[in-house]
């Protein structure tokens, strides 16, 4: 039976100071097999509330597949994925999973190119209505303020009335992150968010992600080790669908197996 998103009640403000060691996500013995190819093998990992976890590993290690499992795009052959210790994600559909507070950013930015930057954030904020109903419905002043604040956070204040299609690649990446943030997710999954960004944009996104940790929990897949070093609390290394190592970046960088399969000598 699929779990109804409505059963999930968001923690109220008093819960915000729950112990950071509480897991927001617990993956247990996840197996994913694509027509005989074992993409994830008995994969287990926990992410704590407010933690910023980086997931690294060679191409084909299973990083994107892992995000597909968490968001309901891929159903594992076995194993479980507990969200906030109460919802079993592998039994829910993608829409229900998104509604209960898990946001995902794919590698390629997906914004509405023909609409303005402001309108993109407006649509994201009012998520579940149709596009035109959303644009016709007036924002209240509180929502307007929140979008204005988000434009500042994204450094897109000057671009608010520009068509999103006219933005640089990096600006589109920031806009898409903003479209997730206005939905106030608990857990944000970001697949190679710094790909295609300039050095300055990469540096600012590191700063932004650090500022989000604590208020949100984040899982970031990234190949740029400098970026990982700047942002990560803990790092999980995947290899051939399995967890090869986990710890601080220093710890995994010193791990012989990690050096052999990923970092090189």
Of these partners, Mg ion, ligand ATP, none, which one is at the site of residue 4 (CB under 5 to 8 Å by kind)? Answer: none
Q: What is the closest distance, in whole angstroms, from the C-beta atom of residue 101 to Mg ion in the complex?
A: 23
Pairing assessment for the beta strands 102-105 and 87-88 based on DSSP bridges: unpaired
Instruction: Compute the distance between CA of residue 187 and CA of residue 189 in angstroms, rounded to an integer.
Output: 7
Least Cα distance to 223 among 63, 47, 44 occurs for 63
**Which of the stretches 52-60, 123-131, 209-217, 246-254 binds ligand ATP when contact is defined by CB under 6 A?**
52-60
Distance of CA 63 to the CA centre of its chain: 12
**In this chain, which of 64, 90, 173, 236 binds Mg ion, going by CB under 5 A?**
64
Which residues lie below 8 Å from residue 107, measured CB to CB, with a gap of 6+?
191, 192, 195
The residue to which tokens 């479980």 are assigned? 80
When CB distances are held under 5 to 8 angstroms depending on the partner's kind, the choice from ligand ATP, Mg ion, none that residue 39 binds is ligand ATP
Using CB under 6 A, which of the segments 55-63, 75-83, 169-177, 209-217 binds ligand ATP?
55-63
Cβ nearer to ligand ATP, comparing 37 with 132: 37
Q: Which of 12, 59, 140, 141 binds ligand ATP (CB under 6 A)?
A: 59
Shortest Å distance, C-beta 220 to ligand ATP: 13
Quote the CA–CA distance of 183 and 257 in Å, as a whole number.
39
Give the pair of three-digit tokens for residue 212. 């989000």
Q: What is the closest distance, in whole angstroms, from the C-beta atom of residue 56 to ligand ATP in the complex?
A: 9
**Nearest distance in Å: CB 246, ligand ATP:** 16
CB-based contact 50:217 (threshold 8 Å): yes
Residues in region 62-121 near ligand ATP by CB under 6 A = 62-65
Question: HSE-up of 261 (CA within 13 Å, CB side)?
Answer: 19
Q: How far apart are CA 153 and CA 180, in angstroms?
A: 13
Q: Which does 60 bind (CB under 5 to 8 A by kind): ligand ATP, Mg ion, none?
A: ligand ATP
CA distance 234 to 220: 11
Please pick, from the candidates 3, 61, 92, 244, the single residue that binds ligand ATP as defined by CB under 6 A.
Answer: 61
CB of 180 to Mg ion, least distance (A): 18
What is the spatial distance between Cα 186 and Cα 217, in angstroms, rounded to a whole number? 6
Q: x/- binding map, residues 13-42, to ligand ATP, per CB under 6 A? A: ---------------------x--x-x---
Contact residues: Mg ion, CB under 5 A: 63-64
Contact residues: ligand ATP, CB under 6 A: 34, 37, 39, 57, 59-65
């Amino acid at each position: 039976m699929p779990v109804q998103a409505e059963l999930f009640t968001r923690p109220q403000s008093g819960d915000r100071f729950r112990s950071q060691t509480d897991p927001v996500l617990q993956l247990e013995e996840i197996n994913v097999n694509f027509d005989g190819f074992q993409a994830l093998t008995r994969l287990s990992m926990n992410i704590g509330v407010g933690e910023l976890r980086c997931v690294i590993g060679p191409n084909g290690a299973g990083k994107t597949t892992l995000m597909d499992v968490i968001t309901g795009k891929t159903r594992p052959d076995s194993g479980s994925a507990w969200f906030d210790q109460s919802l079993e994600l592998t039994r829910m559909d993608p829409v229900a999973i998104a509604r209960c507070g898990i946001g995902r950013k794919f590698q390629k930015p997906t914004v509405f190119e023909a609409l303005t930057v402001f309108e993109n954030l407006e649509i994201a904020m009012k998520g579940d209505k149709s596009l035109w109903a959303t644009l016709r419905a007036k924002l209240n002043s509180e929502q307007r303020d929140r979008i204005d604040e988000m434009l500042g956070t994204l450094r897109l204040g000057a671009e608010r009335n520009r068509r999103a299609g006219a933005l640089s690649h990096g600006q589109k990446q920031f806009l898409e992150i903003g479209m997730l943030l206005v939905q106030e997710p608990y857990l944000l999954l970001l697949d190679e968010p710094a790909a295609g960004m300039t050095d300055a944009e990469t540096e600012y996104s590191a700063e932004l992600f650090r500022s989000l940790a604590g208020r949100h929990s984040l899982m970031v897949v990234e190949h740029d080790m400098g970026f990982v070093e700047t942002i990560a609390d803990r790092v999980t290394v995947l290899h051939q669908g399995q967890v090869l190592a986990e710890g601080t970046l220093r710890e995994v960088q010193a791990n012989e197996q990690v050096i052999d399969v990923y970092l090189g000598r």
